[in-house]
Structure 1
Amino acid sequence: MPEPSRSKELPVSLLTDPVMIEACRARDFGRVFRLVKARAGIYPSMIARRCDLTPSRVGEVIAGRRQLLHMDVIERISDGLRIPGHMLGLARRTWETPQNLTVTPRESAEATPPMDVGLPGTDVDSILALAAERDLSPSTLNALHSSITDYWRRDDEHGGETLRPAVVGQLRYVVGLLKEERSSPMRDGLHGIAAELARLTGWTYFDARQYHQARTYFTEALGLAKAVDDHRFMANVLACMSLQATYQDKPGDALALVAAAQDQARAAVGTTPRVLSMLAMREAFAHATLGNRSATHTAISEAHTHFGRIAPDDPDPAWVVYFDETKLVVDTGIAHGRLGEAVLAEPLIADALRREHTTNHRGRAFHAFWLARTQLQRGKLDEACHTAMDALVPAAAVSSQRVAGHLREFYEQLEPFRREPAAVAFESRLRETLPRQVSGSPRP
């Protein structure tokens, strides 16, 4: 059988099949390749040639022995097999045609083709990207910045799992724009937006505890910022990587990364006290994870000193505005909590939790479980269980493996008190609200 030409699209019946749609959404390329072979007659050797892969690699993917995670490979698969970008969480590919978006006067409404293979997808970001047609202006950059602000808001409210395909698609779209000739201000602006999108993507993977993927995108964000000498944003990305290292129980790495972040901040022109305060608090986390009490207290003091120097007209970058007084207080409490200083930690976390915005579901759940743990350390079983019960509602509203991890840690710390009435009541509420979190745990 002769090999189809590279320009031949896959059958519409395959691209609209729910099985194919789900395989693409999950980026299960073993299943995608098997479907392409069975339904389009494109055999593994042809897949390899079309997608610039080795036949052995394609065979390993089909056999389930290898996964394809790198974005450049995913883009080659999209282009090689003519899988529309939106199906794989990518921006509209250059070969996709937008003509189906319009109906000529001679066509009746009944003649309008269905929204399938020729379209960029029905998500807002893809349609905006199509409408822009690569004719950029400062207002385009402002619109992209606004979408990033909205992504962060929705990430706080619901978690980043469902946002990630849209964020990655917009990232690839902006990276594509960077391949074209641009004026210096426009090029620098696009680099900054791409760096922010890459950091946000890394953050969604970090919050999902998928640390390898998170580091990949954080590294991409670092490179994009470095290309335009944005030392402040490089400091921001390194601070994220430091926080991830504390979660991976790699305190030495965490300390080295935050030190590098502070070096970048000092090298930048116009680094604000708020940025320095945030970085000092990340340093405190690293020292606390190492168990270094004196260094932790020194870093906490520096964070508060920098914060006290904040002026209303400081030119803070948008990515650090979240670090307000409430965040400073709760992070101080968490740093003390990491050291086992529950007496110092409890009132700080409780105070911040009272001030936490009600729409920040992840923050409220995250900090409430920290408070419950410190209360338990102080022997306040009833208060701890009551606090943890209050945390279940925001925890159920957000998709966050980090929050789930803190819930499991609190649940495990309740083991010695399983038969106490407060613990029994908490577990009953937990089974009602988040049954999957305790599905494998024995009842008291």
Structure 2
Amino acid sequence: MVSTGAVPNLAFRRLRGQRSAGEFAAAVRRAAREIGEQVACDARYIGRVESGEIRCPNYAYERVFLHMFPGTTLVDLGFSSRETVRGRGARATVDTPPPTAPHRDTDEESDVLRRVFMTSGTATMATATLGLGGTSAAAATGPVPAPRRVGEAEVSAVEKAVRQIRLLDDRQGGDNLYRKASHPLRIAYALLDSGVAAKRSTAGRLHAGAGELAISVGWLAHDSGRFEDARSHYAEALATARVAGDAALEAHAFCNASFLARDTGRPRESVRAAEAGQRAAQPLGSPRLLALLALREAGGRAGLGDRTGCERAIGRAHTAFGRGRSDADPEWMSFFREAELEFLEAQCWSVLGEWSRAAHHARRAVRLQDPHFTRNLALYRAELTWDLARAGRAVEAAAEGHRVLDLLGRVRSTRIRAMLAESVTALRPQRGTPEVREFLERYADVSGTRE
């Protein structure tokens, strides 16, 4: 719980001046965007800083504050130096929320949560609980044992958890996996925070593994409609990448952050994140990664109504994709095949209101997709349903809608269900058509709604 001896941060309060805590929080968020960071700063966070509850900000906030006030140090801003709050005792009395407090969706909170779970136990015990298949509800929310010394076994367990999440997501979607996956993520960051990796190479792999795990869990949150959770996890991954100097992890974090910004109606932020990802990815030697990031940029530009910029980004994506695979392609990009390229292009044209063109690319995505990847097949068909419905091709849309419903028995994805619901809304004016009426009635039965 918060220490009763917390000392108010008067220096930080003076920097706020006449602005309200909410206005100052908005300035912090703007400054973060200027340097490619993402922080979910609000008035409550500012209040916690000024009250002295937060003695030292996490790395993401540190970079933002030092950007806002050039030439200063954390101490100048009224914080304690990081070295003085690294001990467990300081963490427990300053940064840790009460055990019954709800999780708050800021990346500062993620930093706090990591530290909370470093209380007892051994690295061996922590590693044993990294598996996802048999994780109980109690285990998923219970305390995480703290590590002693981190070696090959622990790092391999983190890397295995990342692969397992990706495999299960391909088959099931995010809804059923998110809470289970949060547990190994907390363990991974407990290992990382211990600072006792046996070798430098082990430490590098652990940073990369923990960051990739944060992105994977963030994606599950994204796919299941928990957008603030996703934003926090992506910001955590980006902070980890920056601390470790890992350009590949940074590019991945920006890629997902761009995707999330587009999905939550922040197209300008989506473009900025995609551009930052491309800068990070440029020296990595992976044309496919650059292609995906160009498509993320295209999606953001479509949201801005920037047709010319969107077309240019799509063109760059096709050029880079055409260069083929590379040994430098990240492992997580196994999903990015021609079908995904077609799907992402379809989404761009859909946002720009070119429904028939979007449907053409969505149909190509469906045809190219490996049927074993059930979730993506359902996603592509949901996009096709929507594009056909908006293009006025109601009978074709209804047929595709049936196929999505066939797949939703095996896939739990809030995102896909939301897309299908939008298609249903678009098709309702055509319910006089028998094929459309049949689909709408089946959808109502499956979803528990009444037509």
**Aligned partners of 2:243 and 2:124: how far apart in 1?**
33
CA deviation after TM superposition for structure 1 residue 277, in Å: 0.4
1:68 offset after TM fit, Å?
3.2
Trace 1:146-185 onto structure 2 (pairs within 5 A).
146-178=160-192, 179-182=194-197, 183-185=199-201
**Which moved further from structure 2: 186-195 or 240-249?**
240-249
Q: 1:72: how far off?
A: 6.1
2:120 maps to what in 1? 94
Find the residue that maps to 1:332 and give its secondary structure: helix
Q: Is the 8 A contact 1:96 1:120 kept in 2?
A: no
Name the counterpart of 1:314: 327
**Cα distance, 1:155 vs structure 2:** 1.0
How far apart are residue 162 of structure 1 and its match? 3.0
Q: Does 2:213 align with 1:197? A: yes
Specify which of 281, 286, 303 is matched with residue 317 of structure 2. 303
Q: Confirm or deny that 1:68 pairs with 2:82.
A: no
Conserved? CA contact 1:396–1:434, under 8 Å: no
Cα drift, residue 95 of structure 1: 4.3
Instruction: Verify: 1:411 aligned to 2:424, yes or no.
Output: yes
**1:238 match:** 254
Give yes or no for the alignment of 1:270 onto 2:305. Answer: no
Shift, 1:168, TM fit: 2.3
Partner in structure 1 of residue 344 of structure 2: 331
Cα deviation digits, residues 371-408 of structure 1 (max 9, x gap): 11222233211111011111112223222111111011
Among candidates 391, 394, 397, match of residue 381 of structure 1: 394
Quick check: 1:125–1:166 contact (8 Å CA) kept in 2? Answer: no
1:340 Cα deviation (Å)?
1.4
Give yes or no for contact 2:129–2:184 (8 Å, CA) kept in 1.
no
Number of equivalent positions: 345
Tell whether the 8 Å contact from 1:281 to 1:331 is kept in structure 2 after alignment: yes
* 1:74 to 1:300, Cα distance in 2 relative to 1, 3 A: closer
Unpaired stretches in structure 1, ≥5 consecutive residues? 1-49, 80-92, 100-118
Specify the code of the residue in structure 1 equivalent to 2:428.
E
Q: 1:180 corresponds to which letter in structure 2?
A: G
| Alignment-derived partner of residue 361 in structure 1 | 374
Asked which structure has the greater CA Rg, the reply is 1
| TM-score (normalizing by structure 2) | 0.69
Distance 2:124 2:284 in 1: 44
The residue identity in structure 2 corresponding to 1:258 is A
Q: Does the 8 Å CA contact 2:402/2:439 hold for their aligned counterparts?
A: yes
Distance 1:245 1:195 in 2: 19
- Number of the residue aligned with 1:212: 228
Q: Which has the higher contact order (CA 8 A, sep 6+)?
A: 2
**Distance of aligned partners of 1:120 and 1:229 in 2 relative to their CA distance in 1, 3 Å threshold:** closer
Note the C-alpha offset of 1:280.
0.6
Q: Measured at CA, do residues 71 and 135 of structure 1 come closer, stay the same or move farther in structure 2, by a change above 3 Å?
A: closer
* Closer, same or farther: CA 354–233 of 1 in aligned 2, 3 Å: same
Residue 314 of structure 1 and its aligned partner are, at CA, apart by 3.0
- Out of 167-176 and 283-292, give the one that drifted further: 167-176
Match for 2:103: what amino acid? L
Is structure 2 residue 442 aligned with structure 1 residue 429? yes
Contact 2:171–2:411 (Cα < 8 Å) also in 1: yes
User: CA 1:303–1:122 in 2, change beyond 3 Å: closer, same or farther?
Assistant: closer
CA distance in 1, matches of 2:442, 2:396: 15
CA–CA distance in structure 2, aligned partners of residues 97 and 272 of structure 1: 35
Distance 1:53 1:429, change over 3 A: farther
Counterpart residue type for residue 102 of structure 2: Q
Look up the match of 1:370.
383
Change (3 A) 1:76 1:307: closer
In the alignment, the residues of structure 1 paired with residue 123 and residue 172 of structure 2 have an alpha-carbon distance, to the nearest angstrom, of: 33
Could you say what secondary structure the match of 1:397 adopts?
coil
Matched, 1:352 2:350: no
Distance 1:231 1:72, change over 3 A: closer
In structure 2, what is the equivalent of residue 136 of structure 1?
Answer: 151
State which drifts further: 66-75 or 218-227: 66-75
Per-residue deviation, 1:361? 2.6
In structure 2, how many angstroms separate the alpha carbons of the residues matched to 1:142 and 1:120?
A: 13
Cα distance, 1:150 vs structure 2: 2.0
Q: Is the 8 A contact 1:349 1:367 kept in 2?
A: yes
1:291 paired residue number: 305
Contact 1:365 1:394 in 2 (8 A): yes
How far apart are the structure 1 equivalents of 2:187 and 2:116?
16
TM-score, length of structure 1 as denominator length: 0.70
Q: Which sections of structure 2, spanning at least 5 residues, go unmatched?
A: 1-90
In 2, are the aligned partners of 1:369 and 1:387 still within 8 Å (CA)?
Answer: yes
**Aligned amino acid, residue 120 of structure 2:** T
Would you say the 8 A contact 1:209–1:401 is kept in 2?
A: yes
Offset of residue 196 of structure 1 = 0.5
The alpha carbon displacement at 1:189 in A equals 0.5
Q: Within 2, Cα distance between the matches of 1:364 and 1:188?
A: 35
2:222 is matched by which residue type in structure 1?
A: F
Question: Secondary structure in 1 aligned to 2:164?
Answer: helix
- For residues 162 and 112 of structure 2, the distance between their equivalents in structure 1, rounded to whole angstroms, comes to 25
Counterpart pick for 1:340 among 326, 330, 353: 353
Q: Name the residue aligned to 1:395.
A: 408
Q: 2:267 aligns with which of 251, 259, 264?
A: 251
The residue identity in structure 2 corresponding to 1:416 is: P
Q: How far is 1:284 from its partner?
A: 0.8
